[in-house]
Amino acid sequence: MLARVRGASPRTRMRTLKYKATTRSARCNHSLFSKWVRAKVNSSPQKLTSLEVKEKPDRAVGAGEEDCDKKRCRCATNWKGEEKEKHAVLSLVSYLKTLYMSKPKYFLYARKSSEDDDKQMMSIEAQLFELREFARKENLEILAEFQESKSAKTPGRTVFGEMMTKVESMEGVGIIAWHPDRLARNSIDGGRVIYAVDTKRVVSLRFPTFWFEPTPQGLFMLQVAFGQSKYYSDNLSENIKRGVRQKLRRGEWLNLAPLGYVNNQNIRNIEPDEVKGRIIKKAYEEYATGNHTYISLAQFLADLGLTSRKGTPLAKVSIKKLLTNRAYLGFIKHGDEWFEGNFAPIISPPLFEAVQSVLQDRERPRKRKIKHDFPFVGIFRCSECDSMISAQWTTNRHGTKYRYYRCSKKRGRCGQSYLQEKELAQQLKVQLHTISLPDRYTNWMLEQVKEWEREGQSVLDRETQKLSAQITANETRMNKLVSTYLDGDIPKVVYLKQKDTLMRSSLILTEKQKVFASGGNDWVEPLREWILDTKQATFLASADNFSEIARYVKKVGTNPTVRDKTACFSFSSPFQFVAQRQRFLSQSSSPAPTVRSGFSLTSKEVSFCGPLRLSTHPSRPHKGILGAKTM
């Protein structure tokens, strides 16, 4: 390098050295990048140009002039090579920028085979941690995370189907998983993933434990991995079934020993427990006598020390299972079939059959009593002794059957008399009429509720969009703050303070958004239901459906009592509001609600009629359906 600029002045030589040092630093430090740059310009920085291989001057020229020509040629060659290298470096930067901008976004998928929460508990958590760490190290952007607990041996996984549906609706995405066997262990799911790669829906598959590239070789290796996963599942299933069949042929017990037996690892079979086995045999002998029930036999076993894990007597279902278990005869059950076992039985076949005979004699179908239809039973209490009102059939002297209600007198003597059902129903109809509203009012009220609901929904949408914009702005500020801190432009103390402020602000905004999403118009449905209840009261006041009247009274009535053959109950505040104005509503003939002077509301009624626009406050009079200007 010094030889090339030796003929120049000191200032020119220093400038040239600085420029060449800058050019050298602009080259890639790694040897692969240097090779890529040379291939890009298709020439080495040291390669001679056409100026260096031009014809040499005539030997007649003086030696001094010949040296000057050679120096000029070297300088020209040096500057042209540097311009080409500079152009190559700029091309490399542009290529890397384009490559970074076109990086795919990834879906993260984690799966465990068992659907039981107590099995493979750490599998999902471990996969998520490792995959997130892998994505962070590889600088991969995760678009969404999917996780499920279901075997991949057969198609039909819900979460996997949702992920593939999103993948097939997009282009240029990637998938991150721990291993290809997490994605598929059957040919259908594996083929679906491979087809998504073929159609460029999936451009990248990343596995911490497996290599893949979207090339013919990579697709071949992916098919091999899916094939190995399917082979492992199929082979494991066949091996387990073969082992079970072999154990059944040898008469060996398949799993945990039943009550009265213990597992013997030396012989890989079960054998009778010295204590519990004799207790089981004694229980069979006792029950065969016919002097025991399930409960008494459970107590008998508990006295002998045979209880549940909690130390309580065995349940009746456990006693029945114990008395019908053929394992005590030396049999093994697999599926719905019994096989002969190669272990010692606890009881003899005659004893077992004697117990089954006793069970068969006692297990007779229970006769059900005919249930009487008393619709108003379970609603009213006696006002004198606070006992429940009961009902019964009776027949008069003419042979007519009818139902009447009376005090059950469960708490002592009571002087209340009987009340016929028809008379009780008529009293309830009269009270329901007091809280009913004409159709012209209820129809108008329902239309008004619809209008309020539309207005409230529009306000709710605006507030939700506003909160979403604020949350997005907070996320943007957070990203800028992190970038600024990583660049070293702000100290750590300022970064932590600003980060804490943004996080708390985002949390508050998120909670507000949840509140708007869950209960923005939660007052609409209760109001609509109340209007429909008043409309139903109008219908029931003139109907003879006693069952519907009873259900309605249970719904809207409080403290229902009967005294002196009179049934009465109270209403909640909204229905009392209607009952107090029933006279005015029944006399009014206007097709729509109007404002009436001299029609005042109490403070309690004002608080009731207050949701949103339905305000009856004196300072903001509302021309409502039932009220008017306050005094």
Which pLDDT value is given to residue 14?
A: 57
pLDDT(608) > 80: no
Same domain, yes or no, for 221 and 329? no
Task: Describe the crossing of helices 573-580 and 524-540 by its angle, rounded to 10 degrees.
Answer: 50
Residues 429 and 445 grouped into a single domain = no
479 and 495 share a domain? yes
Q: Which of 100, 122, 142 corresponds to the end of one domain? A: 100
Residues 289 and 354 in one domain: yes
The whole-angstrom separation of Cα 135 and Cα 526 is 49
| pLDDT score, position 626 | 40
User: Has residue 108 got a pLDDT over 90?
Assistant: yes
Which three-class secondary structure state does DSSP give residue 363? coil
CA 63 from chain center: how many Å? 90
Judged against a pLDDT cut of 50, whether residue 604 lies above it is answered with: no
Per residue in 429-447, pLDDT (tens digit) is 888 888 888 788 888 888 8
Same-domain status, 151 and 52:
no
Of 524, 553, 583, the last residue of a domain is 524
Chain-centre distance for alpha carbon 573: 39
Assess contact for 206 and 174: CB atoms under 8 A: yes
For the cut 80, the answer to whether the pLDDT of residue 504 exceeds it is: yes
204: DSSP letter: E
Please answer whether residues 605 and 616 qualify as being in contact, where contact means their C-beta atoms are separated by less than 8 angstroms: yes
Domain count of the fold of the chain: 6
Per-residue model confidence (pLDDT) at position 284? 92
pLDDT confidence band for 628 (50 / 70 / 90): very low
234 is a domain residue? yes
pLDDT digits (tens, 9 = 90+) for 14-42: 555 544 544 444 444 444 444 554 454 44
How confident is the model at residue 588, as a pLDDT? Answer: 57
Same domain flag for 96 and 109: no
Q: Which residue has the higher pLDDT, 95 or 210?
A: 210
Instruction: Tell me the pairing of strands 419-420 and 401-407.
Output: antiparallel
Q: Which of 36-50, 365-379, 397-411 has the lowest mean pLDDT?
A: 36-50
Closest CA to 241 of 334, 150, 330, 152: 334
Residue 281's domain spans which residues? 261-362
Question: What's the whole-number average pLDDT of the chain?
Answer: 76
Q: What is the pLDDT of residues 519-567, one digit of tens each?
A: 666 777 888 888 888 888 888 888 888 888 888 888 888 888 888 888 8
- Residue 428 and residue 443 in one domain: no
* pLDDT for residue 127 is more than 70: yes
pLDDT higher than threshold 90 for residue 393: no
Beta bridge partners of 264: 269
Residue type, 167: V
- Highest mean pLDDT range out of 228-232, 320-324, 542-546? 320-324
How much is the pLDDT for 592?
A: 52
Residue 557 lies inside a defined structural domain of this protein: no
Strands 337-340 and 331-334: antiparallel
Q: In terms of domains, do 285 and 356 share one?
A: yes
Asked if the structure places residue 402 within a domain, the reply is yes
**Highest-confidence segment of 542-546, 587-591, 595-599, 612-616:** 542-546
The answer to the question of residue 248 being in a domain is: no
Confidence of residue 613 (pLDDT cuts 50, 70, 90): very low
- Looking at per-residue pLDDT, the higher value among 213 and 291 belongs to 291
Residues recorded for the chain: 631
**Residue 593's pLDDT is what?**
55
Query: Would the pLDDT of 290 be above 60?
Result: yes
Asked whether the predicted pLDDT for residue 324 surpasses 60, the reply is yes
The whole-number pLDDT of residue 163 equals 92
Q: Which residue has the higher pLDDT, 298 or 78?
A: 298
Whether 87 and 121 map to the same domain: the answer is: no
Co-location of 177 and 274 in the same domain: no
More confident residue, 578 or 307: 307
Q: Is residue 43 part of a domain?
A: yes
529 lies in a domain? Answer: no
Q: Is residue 421 in some structural domain?
A: yes
- pLDDT above 50 for 46: no
Say whether both 128 and 198 belong to one domain: yes
Longest CA pairwise span in the chain (Å):
159
Per-residue pLDDT band at 367 (split at 50, 70, 90): low
Say if residue 348's pLDDT is above 80: yes
Q: How crowded is residue 280: how many other Cβ atoms within 10 Å of its Cβ?
A: 24
Among residues 524, 555, 578, which one ends one of the domains? 524
The answer for 264, left when phi > 0, alpha when psi is -120 to 50, beta otherwise, is beta
The reply to whether 281 and 389 lie within a common domain is: no
3-state secondary structure of 371: coil
149 assigned to some structural domain: yes
